[in-house]
Structure 1
Amino acid sequence: MSGASGQLGRVIGRTARNLSLGIAVLLGVGPLSATAAPPVVAQSNHWDVRPGARGYQLTLHLDAPAPMRASLPLLEVDGKPLGVAKQSPDRKALTLISTDPAVLTARDVRLVWSGDLGKEAGQNRSIGSAGPTDAEWLRARRGPLLPSDPGALGKYKVDTAEYNLGDEAVYLPGLAHRSELRGKVYSPRGAVGPRPVVLFLHGRHEVCYGEPTNPSDTEKPWPCPPGMKPIPSYRGYDGPATALASNGYQVVSISANAINGWDSEAYDAGAQARAELVLDHLALWRKWSTIGGGPFGTRFVGTMNLQNVGLMGHSRGGEGVARAAVLNADRGGQFGIRAVLPLAPTDFARATVPGVAMSVVLPYCDGDVSDLQGQKFYDDTRYSVGGDTAPRSTVTVLGANHNFFNTEWTPGQSVAPSNDDWFGDEKESPCGAKYAGRLTAKQQQAVGTAYVAGFFRLQLGHETRFLAQFDGSDSRAASAGKAVVRVVSQAPLGSRRDLNHFDKALPAGAVSGKLSATVCAGVSGPARRSGVPTCMETEDWGNAPHWDTAWFAAQTPTTAVTKLKWTGTNGVVRVDVPAGQRDVRRFAALTFRAAPDPAGAPKTDLSVRVVDGHGRAAAVPVSAVSDALVRMPGNNEVGLPKNLLRTVRIPVSSLKGVDLRDVRAVELRTDRVASGSAYVSDLGFSSPGVGFSAPAVLLPKLSASSLTVKEGDKGTHAVDFWVRMSRPSIRPVSVYVETNGELGESVGDVARQLVFKPGQVRQKVTVPITANTRDSYDLPFSLVLSAPRDGLLNESFGHGLVLDDDPTPTLTVGNLKATEKAGVVSFPVKLSAPSDKYVSFSGVLKDGTAVIRKDYIGVSDDGTGTPDRTVEGSVEPGKTTGELQVKILDDKLKEPAETFSAVINQVDGAVLKLPATVTATIAAGD
């Protein structure tokens, strides 16, 4: 999970959507013939292109293994990311399939990573000087200490045990491979009765370590070959597991090496498989804790409450546990999954996680998932279901990287080789390994323990003394030490009163003075369907976690906020409080999210003014209660500074002189600085609360159909996917749909929001297919569902396949007549019709009266050793003539005409009766 990166320019339009291509079609990678590999049709010292079963097989060869990262590995061709690559078992070769003939003329092919898009620095390049606010963050404000430390050990001694049911104990349909069932359990010794259960799932990391006894055994990534051992990533969370178990919780940490080994073949990068693995382990524990059996006999009978379950997932495991919570609800809520903590997670498909408490941990110095895409779990879920009573939060940890939350991914602690995933000079601000603001591995692990343990103790054990840790007040655990942590919180519905989400235009008269208020979403570059201006101009998507695109749902609109811009101190945004909602005495604070515009000054400020029915008001500067309007650390390179909305929290008790029974308006005023620009979102009153969390079993489930269709010969015809709901709903349900993959010229680009009216259970999504009469590759693509409202995603990927139905053209190779002085010549090669495929054929040269190396020679023969009698020919896409070249040698002798032949015994992309023999006649040149 190292932080390898590469320079990447702007990516626009369809390019972002094509990034799923490699995963969508990698099952087509491989030789076309059982007798010989396809010929190389383009190459350089480090990459080559061969014709494949479903397109052109582009392979990049590396001198050293590529890291096993959570981000998606992409092959960038001439500055454009072409698709997601499949890594070979030794990770020295990365391959994808493309139907784009442009790969045949590529000048540059390199590996880049989805989490690094836009970074201008290489892996070892310094990130430069400190940003304008970096010193301020070194002495950043810290809130009060919690009365109890969630990271502290409790009253119970902790017993540990491991179980291993085999490396291929369970088949995972989402992976199409078998997986291990292996885990470590942490139990409170002497605890009476069934205890809450917390399950940990690690992320994508190297699978095996050591040297294989036989190098050829590494052709399959899992199980580990002889001589190598599995990396025990599941053992890397002893800190939070022990803290929880010592306080009375049962903790199980599971291994997912098989998924890491095979997930480059999965259509969704393994999210479904990880979810299935989680539920498979919970099913084991349901048996072992009720009737016993397995490796533990009756040891755990009566000890586990599987109706009170929490899930923590790290890296791709974060997306896995989010999917597991939804999959569990889809299946009727067989387990009481009530809390989910994605830790430095991926979010490739914009899923929502309603109904369950959620806290997303975002490490500011993440060098792997460096765009902090897990922020979208919070953004997309917070209003996705009306009446949702579950709380959610984000926890941004400054100075923390991706790997060090797991001791088995940490140098000096792991049994296998590991690394710091951050990159750049070690003394550079704000993330260098020896910079003052960077956390050591042990400090980071202490923070992880405090927040993982605190979250589950709050949500599963209702230990309300930890509420302040997650309410945005910056209250902190003693064991978290010097760490600077910023929490954004959405209180459960019964504990909050929303005033304005700031995602739609404000009503007439709400804005006055020298101030504009514009709704925005997204950043410059990526495809947008939001219909509103972009929030930022940036070449680096990594610094905009709210607004960069997701790889499998690139056209789903991102978070809409309001951008304030002012040139005077008289600007006012007034939000009126409706009648019936004006008594706010029961709430603890007035809150909203805010961030400075990176195009403005490093520091700005606003005042918040609360007005009652008698015109009395109390005003509070944002800077007095929050650093939300201070630019985060970094210097506009390598994904920093992050532009993250943060909490402004004004205690209601501080609004002196205002009648809290009759609050009429909340105003944002520009009276603090003469000019500035900032983003605002989610204004309301709230109080900390545990809320009520449970599987969202009552929500309708949304699924996309799959289809196979013939391409056709003329015009454009429509094919229909169906998006279905499991049952009617009494209120509208919406979901975004889009086609995804290398759509080429055949599949139309579809992206829109579907809205199901009450009672409606299915909708048609029409995809245009453009016909042609050229022989071409079958084209797989997907219809992806994302960001639902008032529904759950069930089958969120519909799979489409356009079958080419055009006849394969016939290849004709004629006889050749040449003179001795002709040099390099070609047998006449013709194709009966143009093709979209690269037509290749090969054979052997045979002497007649002409002798190889005396009268002729193959063009690939270097003249040394045994003569190379191989001959290869081709016809390029779109052409009807090609080449089968040989070189005629002039021996300067007067002699009669001589002959040799080429016997063609292999052809791909065309019809030719094999073997086919053609004859070359060499006439004397004199």
Structure 2
Amino acid sequence: MQGSATPVPGTDVLTPSGNTTPAPVEPASDVPANSAVARFMSVAPATGQSPKYAISPAIEYQLGMVVTSSASDKERALNPDGTPQVDQNGKPVYVNATPDVTPIHGWLRYPVASASPDVPAGRYPVILFLHGNHTPAVPNYQGYDYLAQDLAQQGYVVLSLDANAINAAAQGDRSSQSRAQLLLGTLDRLRQIDANGGPGVLSALRGKLDFERVGIMGHSRGGQGVSYAIKYNLTRVGVTQQQFIAGIAANPAKYSAWPDLVAAAGNGANGNASGFDAALAEYNMFYAAGGSAAPYNIRAGILLAPTDYDQNVGVSNVPVAMVAATCDGNVISMDGAHAYDLNRFGTQYDTAPRFQVVVNGANHNYFNTIWTQDDVVAGGGQQLNSDFQTYCSPTRADTPRLSADDQRRVATFVVNSFMRYFVGGEAQFAGYWSTSARLPATACPGGAETCDERVLLSVQKDATRSRVLQRFEYANALAGNALGGALVLSGFDQISACTIPYSPTPWSSPSCIPASPDAFIIAGHLSASGRFGGGGYVSIADAARLVWSAPNAKISEYLQGASAAGYDSLTFRIAVVRPMGQEVAVTLTDTKGASATVNASDFSDAVYLAPKPKGAGRPLIDDPQDVSFSGVGAPMQLLNMVAIPLAAFTGVDTTSLARVDLALPKASGMLAFTDLEFQNLGRGSQ
């Protein structure tokens, strides 16, 4: 294969030594005698424990160039101030894009020697990272090496892809179609290396790459690229030779770096076919569509603070984690949460789970070590709501913010444990992703013992492991629930049921009956320029929006004698909108009249907006330092999951259930509610 692969000086990692046996899963210190009723049953192991391999230095690779394209039918043209262009009739103006040529370039880490003779030889799973649209003047792809080192030491081949050529194109391809093609094109080159060997040190990977175990992670627009790559893995959307020739003929100046290609293309109609093929070989170019390339077994996808300009739907059959950061000053519309809302329920035959991961106090840039600017302080190049900036200021007293180092502690655990569990099948991380294991100290600020309020995890299992009791996807959802039973909402001043507005802009035009209470409408948090400024309620899932002004407003769902056999948890999603915290007293009653009540705050940190553990009266009493933010919507308000083990409802026959009640004891408040379900989360699977 043409190309190059060169070790990068100064990137060597110390050889691991000592015990390579995976660390045992430790029991949580606060687990009661009946652990089935505990929120946490264990502490997840740190991803850096017991490294198995010595690893290569970072290898800078260059493996040719892939011909990519943007989704020009979705690529909006922008005015100089960043607002979308419209024509004289008020209709959108789209970019007329021609194909681009994107280098297969970046950094790679791989295992070179086992740290112990007990480590079996074999093929290595493959992980790819993809950065987003930051200035092409800096090596953006180098910013995830902290993740790559940690994974490579556990036996994974990790590539971080250079998408700067895409960033240098107009608007950096807002659709991120080209980024998806870069991901899949890189896998195509790796498949050639596995079969035939590669340039330089990459010859060591011949016969070593396991394409049955592939994971992909994208940050920012790279996250949108990952969502498309999951879809394009089957369809292999790309550029044909005829389209490439036509693009060159239409804009030869764009391809002036490859004169033989331009000459062979001619005016498109009189091109030299054999000369064009020779030029492709000369410049080591190939097409993103991959010809007849077989799909890859992508076992995990992570969208890390992603964009989602297209409201991409149909991201299916792959376990996917959508990560949102509550102090994201760049993707301030919280597209990661939108991606989860749009894709959380798959089709009948889609068995892959979905996850929403909300990192409290994280910004956009600090997930990447090259992106050192604080996007909240700098405004991410956009006008941020001043209340949001004040709330997320790293210098204010009792700030919710994570430092750059602490944010990467969280990212290391979230990204790498997800990859190791779903791609590598490493069962020691099952507890965390089933909600029954708490974060390890290595994921906490400064190595604190616990910090689960920092990461809010929502899980949606497939139809064989979940039973929906109440959603609000239909206009008449307030009339009853999915079981045919009644939905009774008592003590509320305002009630609105909102369905997902799939197009064109989910956050600006919710479909609500009756009209949404004003506090939920994102337009209330726009900056003076009319651009979304951060803070406020930003989830777009179908949900009930509720307002009350006297204690003990109640949501009652009549369950018609339903059985929860085969499920281990009662789950629902809520978003606290006013004030900072709300308790939810959950009562389950069986058909014989036996009932039990538990508090949601004993099982979730979703009931308080700031990243603070339960205590000092929280969530019923707002922390004094949070009061100034409780009425303006400065914090991001997102639908997060509360998961209560069914075993916690002691004395209740969960095979014959009459009703579930969610009572709200606080004197007043506003919240959104949806996705009441029985789920089998796999609690206790370690």
In structure 1, the residue matched to 2:460 is 490
Deviation at 1:604, TM superposition (A): 3.0
8 Å CA contact 1:367, 1:421 repeated in 2: yes
Structure 1 residues 134-161: Cα deviation after superposition (integer angstroms, max 9, x where no partner): xxxxxxxx96762411244622112134
Aligned to 2:45: 148
Query: What's the CA shift string for 1:844-881, capped at 9, x where partnerless?
Result: xxxxxxxxxxxxxxxxxxxxxxxxxxxxxxxxxxxxxx
3-state SS of the aligned residue for 2:479? coil
C-alpha distance in 1 between matches for 2:156 and 2:175: 29
Give 1:337's aligned residue: 298
Task: Tell whether 2:165 aligns with 1:181.
Answer: no
Whole-Å separation in 2 of the counterparts to 1:481 and 1:337:
29
**Higher helix proportion, which one?**
2
Q: Cα deviation per residue 1:398-424 (whole Å; 9 max; x = unaligned)?
A: 221111111111269xxxxx9895988
| Inter-partner Cα distance in structure 2 for 1:404 and 1:348 | 22
The aligned amino acid for 1:173 is: S
Unaligned ranges ≥5, structure 2: 1-38, 71-97, 115-120, 237-292, 446-450, 526-531, 611-625
Amino acid paired to 1:645: L
Establish whether residue 357 from structure 1 lines up as the match of residue 319 from structure 2.
yes
Q: Deviations over 1:225-269 (max 9, x none)?
A: xxxxxx221111112111111111111111000000004274xx1
SS in 2 for 1:157: strand
Counterpart residue number, 1:199: 128
| Residue of structure 2 equivalent to 1:401 | 363
What is aligned with 1:244? Answer: 151
2: CA distance between counterparts of 1:676 and 1:576? Answer: 24
Q: Determine if contact 1:319/1:346 at 8 Å carries over to the other structure.
A: yes
2: distance between equivalents of 1:297 and 1:641?
Answer: 47
Partner of residue 535 from structure 2, selected from 534, 538, 543? 543
Contact 1:169 1:181 in 2 (8 A): yes
Deviation at 1:642, TM superposition (A): 0.8
Measured after TM superposition, the shift of residue 375 of structure 1 is 0.8
The question of whether the paired residues in 2 share the 8 Å contact of 1:372 and 1:545 is answered with no
CA distance in 1, matches of 2:195, 2:354: 32
Asked whether the equivalents of residues 133 and 172 of structure 2 are also in contact (C-alpha less than 8 Å), the reply is: no
What residue number does 2:652 align with?
658
SS in 1 for 2:188: helix
Amino acid aligned to 2:431 = A
Q: Partner of 1:645 in structure 2?
A: 639
Q: After superposition, what is the alpha-carbon deviation per residue over 1:34-89, rounded to whole angstroms, capped at 9, x for unaligned?
A: xxxxxxxxxxxxxxxxxxxxxxxxxxxxxxxxxxxxxxxxxxxxxxxxxxxxxxxx
Does residue 312 of the first structure (1) align with residue 222 of the second (2)?
Answer: no
Secondary structure class of the residue paired with 1:437: coil
Shift of 1:387: 3.2
In structure 2, the CA distance between the partners of 1:524 and 1:190, relative to structure 1 (3 Å rule), is: closer
Query: Are the counterparts in 2 of residues 397 and 485 from structure 1 also a CA contact under 8 Å?
Result: yes
Question: Cα offset for 1:468?
Answer: 3.2
Structure 1: which amino acid aligns with 2:478?
A
Partner of 2:547: 565
**Residue of structure 1 in register with 2:74 after alignment:** none
Q: 1:673 aligns with which of 666, 671, 675?
A: 666
1:576 CA displacement: 3.3
For residues 298-348 of structure 1, what are the alpha-carbon distances to aligned partners after superposition, in whole Å with 9 as ceiling and x for unaligned? 311121111221110011111011111111122486111121101111010
Greater relative contact order (Cα < 8 A, sep 6+) = 2
CA separation in 2, counterparts of 1:249 and 1:638? 46
> Following the alignment from structure 1 to structure 2, what is the Cα–Cα distance between the partners of residues 529 and 189?
55
Whichever residue aligns with residue 376 of structure 1, its letter is H
Query: Partner letter of residue 641 of structure 1?
Result: P
Amino acid at match of 2:111: P
Say yes or no: does 1:291 pair with 2:196: yes
Q: Deviations over 1:814-836 (max 9, x none)?
A: xxxxxxxxxxxxxxxxxxxxxxx
Change (3 A) 1:370 1:145: farther
After TM superposition, give the deviation of residue 531 of structure 1 in Å: 6.1
Q: Which among 514, 526, 529 is matched to residue 491 of structure 2?
A: 514
C-alpha distance in 2 between matches for 1:497 and 1:277: 38
Q: Which residue of 1 aligns with 2:290?
A: none
Q: CA separation of 1:513/1:172 partners in 2, compared to 1, >3 Å: closer, same or farther? A: closer
Between 1:292-301 and 1:420-429, the stretch displaced more is: 420-429
Find out whether 1:612 has 2:605 as its counterpart.
no
Counterpart mapping for 1:209-288 below 5 A: 231-264=138-171, 266=173, 269-288=174-193
Closer, same or farther: CA 366–497 of 1 in aligned 2, 3 Å: same
Taking the aligned partners of 1:676 and 1:297, their CA distance within structure 2 comes to 59
Matches of 2:403 and 2:489 in 1, distance apart?
Answer: 49
Q: Is residue 303–residue 323 contact of structure 2 (8 Å, CA) maintained in 1?
A: yes
One-letter amino acid matched to 2:305: A
**Which residue is equivalent to 1:437?**
400
1:371 and 2:337 aligned: no
Question: Which position in structure 2 is the counterpart of 1:386?
Answer: 348
Deviation at 1:689, TM superposition (A): 4.6
TM-score, normalised by the number of residues in structure 2: 0.67
Query: Separation in 2 of the partners of 1:288 and 1:447?
Result: 33
Structure 1 length as normaliser, TM-score?
0.50
Cα separation, 1, equivalents of 2:329 and 2:460 = 27
Aligned-residue identity in percent = 31
Q: For 1:588, which of 568, 572, 577 is the aligned residue?
A: 568
- Bigger CA radius of gyration: 1
- Going from structure 1 to structure 2, the CA distance change for 1:660 and 1:387 (only over 3 Å counts) comes to same
1:49-68 matches, within 5 Å, as none
Residue 686 (structure 1) aligned with residue 679 (structure 2): yes
Matched letter for residue 564 of structure 1: L
Distance 1:328 1:524 in 2: 27
CA RMSD of aligned residues (A): 3.3
Say how many residue pairs are matched. 505
State the Cα distance separating 1:439 from its structure 2 match: 1.7
Q: CA deviation at 1:578?
A: 5.2
* Amino acid corresponding to residue 680 of structure 1 in structure 2: F
Q: 1:505 aligns with which of 469, 478, 501?
A: 478
Q: What do the CA deviations read for 1:700-720 (whole angstroms, capped 9, x no partner)?
A: xxxxxxxxxxxxxxxxxxxxx
Q: 1:236 aligns to what SS in structure 2?
A: helix
Distance (whole Å) between structure 2 residues aligned to residue 301 and residue 525 of structure 1: 48
Q: Which of these residues, 336, 347, 359, is aligned with residue 308 of structure 2?
A: 347
1:282–1:449 Cα change, 3 Å: same
Aligned-pair distance for 1:370? 1.6
Please tell me whether the aligned partners of residues 306 and 335 of structure 2 are also in contact (alpha carbons under 8 angstroms).
yes
Aligned residue for 1:171?
Answer: 67
Cα distance in 2 for residues equivalent to 1:509 and 1:425: 40
Q: Quick one: distance in 2 between partners of 1:625 and 1:368? A: 31
Out of 581, 585, 588, which is 1:603 matched to? 581
In structure 2, distance between residues paired with 1:387 and 1:618: 35
Aligned mates of 2:405, 2:552 — CA distance in 1: 49
Amino acid at match of 1:590: L
TM-superposition CA deviations, 1:577-612 (whole Å, max 9, x none): 356x5043x4332111112233xx433333211111
